[in-house]
């Protein structure tokens, strides 16, 4: 049995770069950007009027002029006009190019317009006011978004404005999710008294969808030859296999022996943690195999604690550890790292984690009451209110 930290190191060391693909920009939300996005022009690209009103040459106002003859209207979306006489003005609209020979905009609220003359009603005006200067935000060729960032709505706006209708993102691994067990029936079926519906596969599908990874699913009965034959095919067709169940000590927990017979290199089996202890991890040259223990919370937490970091490393995304303060004393005697379900609350500007009572790793309904797991180390048994520990959030 190895420590959580060592298990994670082994998994991170087998991260794999799946390459890059180009996708339509609107399909890129949640994907990991694989190119730097540069400004195709200055931001803003011209001296942009930022208030509806009139524009003047500031010197005229400084010299005591208050009335300005209106030469015309510069609307947004038309070519730049020129103020012919620097003692006149042009009406300007927000988003328009600032006309030549003018540098200062006075909003309509501070002006009276009558018979083609604009009279300024205020005493104080600043030189160049209400103009968003060309290149003030960013210069042409500046890096607007660095690669390896996760794309959100904020990045979509930038991609659109620089004309990136397609964008390079990290390719997703091809994933198969497999459940095993003769007690399991489909979601639409009515289970007999000794059966339950399959649920782990679908939590895994959803956990992967959060990463924008689409996956295939399969269910295999507890029959060793069938398991072996099916998995042999999956190993050829997929980059990642996620299993749920059949990795502990039961008479029908065939997976570890099937993996061995199929030539999968075992990197570890069993981690000093609860829940999720009988976790198997192995690989072939082409495929990574995560054998999650079948109890629903074990599968769930191990996907977050191991598959997620493996995926982040594989795609180049840098993540930061998040921590929270324990909101209650916790006592945990076994010499195992404890992934405790917690409800997170913000108190006085701090994230506080309150333990959620559950009945062990089979109690999948208790996941609904929590937001995260707090990771309590195996070298202590008493954990005090106010102490800070890493958390893994799932909402």
Ligand X SMILES: Nc1nc2c(c(=O)[nH]1)N[C@H]1C(S)=C(S)[C@@H](COP(=O)(O)OP(=O)(O)OC[C@H]3O[C@@H](n4cnc5c(N)ncnc54)[C@H](O)[C@@H]3O)O[C@H]1N2
277 binds ligand MOO (CB under 6 A): yes
Q: Helix 4-13 to helix 308-315 angle, to the nearest 10 degrees?
A: 30
Gap between the Cα atoms of 324 and 330, Å rounded: 14
Residue with tokens 């048994």: 381
Near ligand MOO in 279-298, by CB under 6 A? 293, 295, 298
- 25 versus 279: smaller Cβ distance to ligand MOO: 279
CB distance 277 to 295 below 8 Å: no
Gap between the Cα atoms of 393 and 387, Å rounded: 18
Report the partner that residue 99 touches, choosing among ligand MOO, ligand X, none (CB closer than 5 to 8 A by kind): none
Sequential DSSP letters for 87-135 = TSEEEE-TTSBPPBT--EEEEGGGEEEETTEEEE--S---TTTTEE-TT
276 binds ligand MOO (CB under 6 A): yes
CB of 338 to ligand MOO, least distance (A): 10
245 binds ligand X (CB under 6 A): yes
**Alpha carbon 313 to its chain's center:** 14
355 binds ligand MOO (CB under 6 A): no
293 binds ligand X (CB under 6 A): yes
Report the partner that residue 91 touches, choosing among ligand MOO, ligand X, none (CB closer than 5 to 8 A by kind): none
In the set 278, 282, 327, 355, which binds ligand X (CB under 6 A)? 278
Gap between the Cα atoms of 174 and 86, Å rounded: 66
CB of 314 to ligand X, least distance (A): 25
Query: Given the rule CB under 6 A, which of 50-58, 120-128, 195-203, 311-319 is the region that contacts ligand X?
Result: 195-203
Find the helix or strand (DSSP H, E) in which 159 lies.
Answer: helix 153-161
Near ligand X in 338-367, by CB under 6 A? 361-362
Gap between the Cα atoms of 184 and 80, Å rounded: 71
Residues that bind ligand X (CB under 6 A): 179, 181, 183-184, 196, 198-201, 244-250, 253, 275, 277-278, 293-296, 298, 361-362
Residues that bind ligand MOO (CB under 6 A): 274-277, 293, 295, 298, 361
């Amino acid at each position: 049995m190895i420590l959580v930290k060592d298990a994670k190191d082994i998994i991170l060391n087998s991260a794999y770069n799946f390459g890059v693909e180009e996708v339509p920009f609107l399909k890129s939300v949640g994907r990991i950007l694989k190119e730097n996005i540069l400004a195709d022009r200055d931001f803003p690209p011209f001296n942009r009027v930022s208030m509806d009103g009139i524009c003047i040459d500031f010197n005229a106002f400084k010299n005591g002029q208050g009335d300005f003859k209106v030469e015309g209207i510069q609307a947004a979306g038309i070519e730049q006009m020129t103020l012919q006489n620097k003692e006149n003005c042009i009406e300007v609209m927000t988003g328009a190019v600032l006309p030549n020979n003018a540098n200062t905009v006075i909003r309509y609220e501070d002006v009276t317009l009558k018979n083609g003359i604009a009279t300024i009603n205020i005493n104080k005006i600043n030189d160049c006011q209400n103009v968003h200067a060309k290149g003030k935000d960013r210069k042409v060729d500046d890096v607007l978004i660095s690669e390896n960032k996760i794309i959100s709505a904020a990045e979509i706006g930038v991609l659109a404005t620089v004309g990136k209708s397609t964008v390079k993102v990290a390719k997703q691994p091809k994933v198969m999710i497999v459940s095993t067990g003769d007690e399991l029936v489909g979601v639409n079926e009515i289970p007999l008294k000794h059966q339950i519906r399959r649920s782990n596969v679908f939590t895994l599908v959803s956990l992967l969808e959060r990463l924008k990874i689409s996956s295939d699913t399969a269910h295999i009965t507890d029959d060793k030859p069938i398991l072996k034959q099916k998995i042999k095919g999956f190993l050829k067709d997929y980059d990642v296999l996620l299993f749920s169940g059949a990795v502990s000590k039961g008479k029908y927990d065939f997976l570890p022996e099937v993996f061995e017979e199929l030539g999968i290199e075992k990197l570890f089996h069993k981690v000093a943690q609860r829940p999720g202890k009988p976790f198997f991890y192995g690989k072939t040259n082409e495929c990574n195999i995560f054998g999650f223990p079948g109890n629903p919370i074990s599968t769930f937490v191990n996907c977050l604690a191991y598959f997620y970091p493996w995926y982040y490393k594989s795609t180049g995304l840098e993540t930061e550890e998040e921590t929270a303060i324990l909101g209650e004393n916790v006592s945990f005697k076994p010499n195992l790292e404890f992934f405790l379900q917690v409800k997170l609350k913000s108190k006085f500007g701090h994230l506080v984690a309150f333990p959620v009572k559950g009945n062990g790793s089979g109690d999948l309904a208790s996941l609904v009451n929590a937001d995260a797991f707090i990771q309590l180390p195996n070298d202590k048994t008493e954990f005090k209110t106010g102490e800070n520990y890493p958390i893994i959030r799932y909402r």
